[in-house]
Amino acid sequence: QVQLVESGGGLVQAGGSLRLSCAASGRTFSDYPTGWFRQAPGKEREFVAAISRSGLNTYYADSVKGRFTISRDNAKNTVYLQMNSLKPEDTAVYYCAQGTSAYYPYKYDYWGQGTQVTVSS
Residue 100 has a pLDDT of 87
Give CA torsion, residues 34, 68, 94, 61, to 10 deg.
Answer: -70
| Residue-wise burial string across 67-78, b where 16 or more C-beta atoms lie within 10 A, e elsewhere | ebbbebeeeebb
In 3D space, the residue among 2, 22, 20 whose CA is nearest the CA of residue 92 turns out to be 20
pLDDT of residue 89: 97
Phi and psi angles of residue 51, each rounded to the nearest 5 degrees, phi first:
-140, 140
In the predicted model, residues of the chain with pLDDT beneath 70 are none
Q: Within a 13 Å sphere around the CA of 55, how many CA atoms are in the beta-carbon half? A: 14
Residue 90: the pLDDT is 98
Please name the helix (run of DSSP H) or strand (run of DSSP E) that holds residue 82, with its range, or none.
Answer: strand 78-83
Give the pLDDT confidence of 11-40 residue by residue, as tens digits: 999 999 999 999 999 998 989 999 999 999
